[in-house]
Amino acid sequence: MQTQISRAKSVFITGASSGLGRQMAIEFARRGYRLALTARRLDLLEALQLELQRQGAPAVFVAALDVTDEAAVTQVFADARAFLGSLDIVAANAGIGHNGRIGKLAFAKVRDTINTNITGFMATVDAAMQCFTAQGYGHLVGISSVAAFRGIPAGGVYGASKAAVTAYLQALRAECYGGPILVTTLSPGFIDTPINRGAKSRPFVIPVEQGGKLLVDLIEKRVECATVPRWPWALVARLIAILPTAVIARFR
């Protein structure tokens, strides 16, 4: 295991222009990783690239990418691998969040959430697995959410999208069991990023800098599954999953 960890010095991150993706990029760069950073906003990626290069990052590849465009995903993976030589870790992080009651949330926002958080996620995982299979090794990291543990009023579409992420990675982990490809599911609670700043309540919220460090720590430890932070969410998320509907309904 130690040999594999020392070799894993390149990481591909989707949704790297802001939030957790950006913070993970900063944290990985501090630890000497070579980076492939993608997002829809190329201008933000290029600004981050300059920042990281000034701080001594060994190599930073950036590319505009909409993960819902599967042909573009395949091409950007090929370009990143050619630039870096290998893609040891892929963090499928790109995601959006729209909250609203079912039947009242504009369906265009429902569709966007599903297209990005599920279809785009699966396209990223598919491209990563083809890369890893060709290399003969790799570490796939999927960013789910504690929202996957239970559907909450006004959070139905986001929770459903993250539940799909969790289930998909469970299947992939079983398919890869005992082989050279590792699969990690990380489920953040409330970390102070733009995706949740409009929420009415953010229990146990932590700064994004702390969240990024915790995520990268867990990735380097090669865990299978974890909430972020582990405490109190490892307990709280599982408690929420078994609460009666009458209690969950009070969250409206």
Q: What is the 3-state secondary structure (H, E, C) of 82-141?
A: HHHCCCCEEEECCCCCCCCCCCCCCHHHHHHHHHHHHHHHHHHHHHHHHHHHHHCCEEEE
Sheet containing 138-143: give its strands across: 60-64, 34-39, 10-13, 89-92, 138-143, 181-188, 225-228
Number of H helices, E strands in the chain: 10, 7
Q: How far is CA 150 from CA 69, 165, 236, in A?
A: 29, 14, 11
Q: Give residue 48's pLDDT band: very low, low, confident or very high (50, 70, 90).
A: very high
Q: What is the β-pairing status of strands 34-39 and 10-13? A: parallel
Residue 7 is predicted with a pLDDT of: 42
Per the structure, the count of domains in the chain is: 1
Residue 54 is predicted with a pLDDT of: 96
| Least reliable range by pLDDT among 2-11, 21-30, 88-97, 160-169 | 2-11
Q: Give the residue numbers spanning the domain of 147.
A: 2-251
Q: What is the β-pairing status of strands 181-188 and 225-228? A: parallel
Query: What are the tens digits of pLDDT across the range 184-225?
Result: 999 999 999 888 877 777 888 999 999 999 999 999 999 999
Residue 201 is predicted with a pLDDT of: 76
d(CA 252, CA 245): 12
User: Is 90 exceeded by the pLDDT of residue 229?
Assistant: yes
Q: How far is CA 8 from CA 11, 127, 245, 250, in A?
A: 8, 18, 44, 46
If one counts every other C-beta atom within 10 angstroms of the C-beta of residue 196, the result is 20
User: Is 70 exceeded by the pLDDT of residue 1?
Assistant: no
d(CA 161, CA 96): 10
Residue 195 is predicted with a pLDDT of: 82
Task: Read off the CATH number of the domain in which 86 is found.
Answer: 3.40.50.720
Q: Which residue has the tokens 């953010």?
A: 202
User: Is 50 exceeded by the pLDDT of residue 4?
Assistant: no
Q: What is the phi/psi pair of residue 60, to 5°?
A: -135, 110
Residue 2 is predicted with a pLDDT of: 29
Can you give the pTM of this predicted structure? 0.94
Residue 133 is predicted with a pLDDT of: 98
Q: Which of 137, 158, 168, 177 is catalytic?
A: 158
d(CA 71, CA 239): 41
d(CA 112, CA 118): 10
Does 158 participate in catalysis according to the annotation?
A: yes
